[in-house]
Structure 1
C-alpha cells in the first residue's frame, strides 16, 4: 500500500477512492466534527487528527511527516481544499477569502516532500479570474523541483450520473511525472438518475417509481453542498432547480424518506440523502459508506465531497506513475497560464503598460491589459507609477495565506470559525 496524507478530507469521498486505488492513509485532517465522525465510523483504524483547521500546527505539523522525520517518503499529499473562494456561485474572493487554503497546501510540499500531490477544486478556479493564481502555483511547484499540470475532469466521464466538473492539480517529482497519464474517459454513457435511483425510489413501494424513472432519463446537475454560512439543504440555485424539475425532482429540499404508496407530487419527489449519495458515486457495492450527523449536516458532507469513483481513477493513475508501471509520456506540459504575471515576475521591476501589451502575446489592447492587471490585483499587490513614457506596473506580494504569522486570515478565521 502507498502512503497518503489527506487534508480537508471531508466525509471521505476522495479518501475512499484513494483507498480503493491502493493508498493507505497515514493521516487524515478534517475540520467539521460531523464529517470527522463519519470518517471514524467508516475507518476507525485510520490515523485521524482532531477536528480543526488544517493550517493550525496544533492539529498537525507537516514537518512530522517529512522523510527525515519518518524515515521514509510519503507517496501522496492530497486534499479537497475549500471551494467557496473560487466558486462562481460565490463572491470569488480568491486569496481574500479566509477559507482559502490552496496556496498554503502548495507550500507544504517542500516540507513533506511527497512523491506526488493531488489537489482538487471547483471549475471556477480554471477561469481567467484566477489565471495569475494558477500561474503562481505552477511556478512554486517548479521552484520546489516538481512538475505540475491542471486538468478539468468531468465526473460523468467516469460513470458518475452527474454533471460535476472538478479542476484537478497533479504535481510529481519529475522521475514519476514522466510516467503519469491522465485517466481517459470510460467512453460509456453514464447511467441516468432514473436508473440509478429506481430501487431507492421504490423501496417503500411507491407505485409511481417506474413512471418517475422513465422521466428522470438524464444525468443530474451538479450536487451543491453549499457553505455553512448560508441556508439549509437544497439541491442548488435557481438554474439547478429548473434542471432537476426536468428530471421530475423537487430540488427545494431534501426528504427524510423515500415516497410511499399514494404519494403524489406537483413537480416530483424530493431526494433523500441516501439518493444524493448515490448520485455522488457512493453505492452499496463498491463504495459503501455511512454518514454521521443530522439531515442538513449529512447533505453538506455528501454534496461537498469528491466523487469516490473519480478519486479512484485519479489515484490509480498516480500510483501507476509512482510505481513506474506505465511508459513515459511524451507531452509538453501547459505551464503558461498568465503571461502578464510572468512578465512582471521575471522583470522584478516596473514594466510599461505598452510593453506588457506588446510582449504578453495575448493580442490585448492597453485597455485589455489594464483589465487583466485589475484581475491580478485581487490576488497580488500591484504597484502603479506614472513615467514620462506612460503608466508602468510592478508585481508585489501574493496576497494569499501561505502560513504567515501576520495575515488577515487569522482574524477573519477566528470570527468566522463558528459558521
Structure 2
C-alpha cells in the first residue's frame, strides 16, 4: 500500500470514529433531556435548556420531541452514525415518512437531510390527486414569484430612499430644503411608501416611542412635509440641537435599512451632558457606598431614591450627596408601587452578591440574603423603562441555573426583554481584574436600542501608577521603585504565556482576620501585603525593616475601586472596608449607565470623552489617607413616610405644571 492510500485509510478510520462519538453525544443529550422532562414541564425544560445550558433555540425542539418520535431507535441511529441535521429532519418528519426512512437506514442506505426532504415530498404528493399536486406546485410558484417581485420593489425603494435622505441630511437652510427637485422626489417616494405601507398612518404620539410603528409614522411625516416643503416649520419633532440630524430624517434612514454616514454620527456625539437635557430618572436598590450611584450620576441619571439597609453605607451616601433621597430600610419591607406614577426610567442596583460568591458559600436561592426575586417584584411594581442589576461571576454557576432561569422567566412574564452580559473593570481603565455580571432588562420598544458600552483596553492601568502618590505621601522613598516594578511586572495567562505588563488588583477583600493562603500569595506576587488595614501609608521607618511589603490603606483600596479621593466613608474601620470591598467601580457603572441613557433617550455619546472628562487631572493627595467619618455627623435618616409625602407632592406638582 502506497503512502497516499495509507493516509486515506487512516483518515477514514479517524473520521468514522469521530462521527460515532458525535452521534453518541447527540443521543446522550437526548437521554438527558428526557430525564429532565420527567421532573418538569416541557415549557420549563425549554426555558432551562435555553437560558441555563445555552442550548440554541434551533436545537431545542429536536431534543424535546425525540422521545415521542425516535425512542427505541438508538441502536440504529448509532450504527448509521446519524448527524444532528439528519436527526432534526427525522424528528420533524411525518410518521409514515419517518418509518420509511428508518427502514432504508436499516438496510444500509445512505440518508441525508436532502433525501429525507425528497421522501417527505413524495409521500405527501402520493396522498393528493394529480390536480391537487399541480395546484399546490403552481400556488407555491406564484407565491415565490410574488415574494421575489415584492422584495425587488422594496429593495429599490430602500436604495432610492437612502440616496435621497443622504443628499439632504446636511441641508440647514429652509429655502434649500423647499427646492422643487427635493419636493418632487419626496412626493414620488411618498407615493411608493404608501403603496408599500398604506396611506392610513397614525400620529407618532399614538405609538410607543422608538417602536417600529413609531418610526414608520415619523418616516411618513418626514416624506409628507418634505413633499410639501414644510419640514423646517413642522411641529412635533421636539427640540433639535444645532448640528443634529432632524429626528424624522433619522427615521427615514432607519426605514432605508442604513445608518447615516459614520462621520456624521461621530460629529454629533456628545462629549458632555447637555445643560438643558431632560435627565432620565432612576431608583437604586442596595446602593451601598455609592459606586453605582456615582456612575449613574455621571451618566446623566437623576436619582429619585436610593435604598440601602446598612446604616454606615446609608450615612456615606448622605454625607457625600446631601441632596440625594436616601431610604435606610430593607427593600423586602417596602412597597414601590408609589413610584409607578412618576414614570421612572431605570431601576438599578447591586443586589447582594454573597449568595453567589465563593466567600459567601454560594448558597444561591437558599441564602436568606438572596434578593433576585425581590428585584423582580420591585421592577413589577415600578414598571420602569429599563432595569440593571449587577452581580458576581458566580451567578452563572451551574448550581444556580434553575434559579436564574426562573428569575429571567419572571422578568419576561412582566414584559421585559432580558440579556445577561459580562464585563471586566480592566477594560474601563480600572487597575483591577474584576469581572462582573449585568442583568439588563428593557421594555420591548427599547430592547433593540440597547448596546453594551465599548471597552477601552488601551487605557489599561496598573496598581503602581494608580497608588504611587498615596504610597509616597508619608515619605517612603521606595514608593516610585515599587510602582515601577508593578508597572513592568509581566502578566501571563494560565498557560504561562506572556500577555502584557502591569500588575492589577484582585478583588478588594473585606474579610476579617488573616487572608486565605492563596489570596495572600496572589497579592504578595503583586508586591502587596493584603493582611490588615493600616491607618496610614508606609513610613521610612516601616519600609526600612527586612522583608517590608506595603499594605493597602482604606483610601488606597477606594482608589483601586475607582472612587475619587474626596469621597468620604462613614463608620469604623471594618465598616469602611466592607463598603469599599462591596462597591461597584463608578467608571464601570458610568459606562453601562451611558449605554442605558442612550437607549432610553436616543442620545449619542463620545464614550471615551464622557468616561474620562478630566484626562489630565492629577489625583488629589489626602493626608491622612482616609479618616472614617462618624455616623452622627452624616445627617438624619429620612423616614419612609416622609418619602411618600415628598413623592405625592412631586406628582401633584407635575400634574399642576
Same fold flag (TM > 0.5): yes
Residues 194-203 or 217-226, more deviating = 217-226
Superposition pairs of residues 116-155 of structure 1, within 5 angstroms? 116-155=386-425
Displacement of 1:151 in angstroms is 1.0
Secondary structure of the 1:219 match is coil
1:170 counterpart residue number = 440
2:532 counterpart residue number = 253
1:345-393 deviation digits (Å, cap 9, x = unpaired):
xxxxxxxxxxxxxxxxxxxxxxxxxxxxxxxxxxxxxxxxxxxxxxxxx
In 1, Cα distance between equivalents of 2:365 and 2:456: 35
In 2, Cα distance between equivalents of 1:206 and 1:326: 46
Question: CA 1:79/1:283 → structure 2, altered by over 3 Å: closer, same or farther?
Answer: same
2:510 counterpart residue number = 225
Secondary structure of the 2:332 match is coil
RMSD over aligned CA atoms reads 1.6
In 2, Cα distance between equivalents of 1:183 and 1:237: 35
Displacement of 1:237 in angstroms is 3.3
Displacement of 1:267 in angstroms is 4.9
In 2, Cα distance between equivalents of 1:261 and 1:252: 20
Superposition pairs of residues 17-56 of structure 1, within 5 angstroms? 17-49=295-327, 51-56=328-333
Question: CA 1:162/1:292 → structure 2, altered by over 3 Å: closer, same or farther?
Answer: same
Task: Answer 1 or 2: higher relative contact order, Cα 8 Å, separation at least 6.
Answer: 1
Is residue 288–residue 583 contact of structure 2 (8 Å, CA) maintained in 1?
A: yes
Is residue 313–residue 579 contact of structure 2 (8 Å, CA) maintained in 1?
A: yes
More helix as a share of residues = 2
Gaps in structure 2 of 5+ consecutive residues: 1-278, 488-502, 606-657
1:117-168 deviation digits (Å, cap 9, x = unpaired):
0001111001212111221122112111110101111111111100111111
Superposition pairs of residues 256-271 of structure 1, within 5 angstroms? 256-264=535-543, 266-271=547-552
1:416 counterpart residue number = none
1:214 counterpart residue number = 484
Is residue 542–residue 548 contact of structure 2 (8 Å, CA) maintained in 1?
A: no
Displacement of 1:261 in angstroms is 2.0
Displacement of 1:263 in angstroms is 2.1
Is residue 248–residue 267 contact of structure 1 (8 Å, CA) maintained in 2?
A: no
Displacement of 1:90 in angstroms is 2.7
Displacement of 1:40 in angstroms is 0.5
1:301 counterpart residue number = 579
1:397 counterpart residue number = none
Is residue 426–residue 457 contact of structure 2 (8 Å, CA) maintained in 1?
A: no
Does 2:366 align with 1:96?
A: yes
In 1, Cα distance between equivalents of 2:598 and 2:532: 41
In 2, Cα distance between equivalents of 1:21 and 1:213: 32
Is residue 429–residue 457 contact of structure 2 (8 Å, CA) maintained in 1?
A: no
Is residue 249–residue 267 contact of structure 1 (8 Å, CA) maintained in 2?
A: no
1:237 counterpart residue number = 516
Is residue 10–residue 305 contact of structure 1 (8 Å, CA) maintained in 2?
A: yes
Secondary structure of the 1:281 match is coil
2:340 counterpart residue number = 66
1:197 counterpart residue number = 467
2:608 counterpart residue number = none
Displacement of 1:225 in angstroms is 2.9
Is residue 164–residue 223 contact of structure 1 (8 Å, CA) maintained in 2?
A: no
In 2, Cα distance between equivalents of 1:150 and 1:237: 31
In 2, Cα distance between equivalents of 1:253 and 1:133: 36
In 1, Cα distance between equivalents of 2:604 and 2:300: 16
Is residue 79–residue 118 contact of structure 1 (8 Å, CA) maintained in 2?
A: yes
Report how many aligned residue pairs link the two structures: 310
**Quick one: which of 551, 556, 560 aligns to 1:279?**
560
Secondary structure of the 2:370 match is coil
Secondary structure of the 1:250 match is coil
Superposition pairs of residues 380-399 of structure 1, within 5 angstroms? none
Secondary structure of the 1:149 match is strand
Displacement of 1:238 in angstroms is 2.8
Does 2:597 align with 1:319?
A: yes
Is residue 149–residue 170 contact of structure 1 (8 Å, CA) maintained in 2?
A: yes
1:188-225 deviation digits (Å, cap 9, x = unpaired):
15211011000000011111111211232311111123
In 2, Cα distance between equivalents of 1:239 and 1:221: 12
Q: Give the TM-score normalised by structure 2.
A: 0.46
Higher alpha-carbon Rg: 2
Is residue 428–residue 459 contact of structure 2 (8 Å, CA) maintained in 1?
A: no
Secondary structure of the 1:55 match is helix
Question: CA 1:238/1:177 → structure 2, altered by over 3 Å: closer, same or farther?
Answer: farther
